[in-house]
Amino acid sequence: MLITIDIGNTSTLFGPSKIRIKTDPALLEKTLKNFKRTDAAIVSSVVPQLNKIIKKYFNKVIFVGYKTFKGQMKIKVKNPAEVGADRLVNAYAAYKLYGSPAIVVDFGTATTFDVIDIDGSYLGGLIAPGIQISADALHEHTAKLPKVKVQMPKSIIGKSTVDSMQAGIYYGYIGLVEGIIKRLNSQFSIENSQLNIIATGGYAKLIGKKTKAFDHIDEDLTIKGLGIISLF
């Protein structure tokens, strides 16, 4: 059986079971004990120090990196080795599943925008602070603002401090997403082709409730991508 594992800075997702855990060495060990050593694993990891734990539990492990895509996807950036594996997996999955040119917006610990041109080449992208990071920063760097849950507010005009913070965080990110996508679309007008926008990550559905910026919302894009890559 092939196990797909996406290790992010905040959470780790296992496929095909869709088990999600907090990214933590002890929790990772505990979860891996449920799998058979005869299983094979393909892994996208942005936390290299956890990779040795994965190796203990499987006879065969493939860690995806930029070299994985040789002959499959051109990576047109200055230093391909520094691009997160999850971003490359998302880009390839978007190209294969939804077509190109495309942008993948991933709402993870960071909010990333990854761009795929009409030929399926990875062009790079943008990295912005994640939604939860921004919410936490408001609390941690002010004297009176509380820690709040990221959620869709009742109104864009907050009637309390918590409501105001939630409105600012939520609609602020919608503005960020829509603004960046608009600018990228204008750049791609030279290709005479509209960008295909795919949202993924933990907050994709929440943000998608109040914007029409996304053509597709696919929370399992990385796991699906790992499955496709395993067929190389």
User: Which positions are annotated as active-site residues?
Assistant: 86
For 45, phi then psi, to 5°, come to -135, 135
Contacts by residues 165-173 (CB-CB < 8 Å, ≥ 24 positions apart): 165/135, 165/138, 169/131, 169/134, 169/135, 169/138, 170/206, 170/207, 170/210, 171/210, 172/134, 173/111, 173/131, 173/134, 173/203, 173/207
Q: How would you class 30 by CB atoms within 10 Å of its CB: exposed for 0-12, middle for 13-18, buried for 19 or more?
A: exposed
Question: How far, in Å, CA of 212 to CA of 35, rounded?
Answer: 40
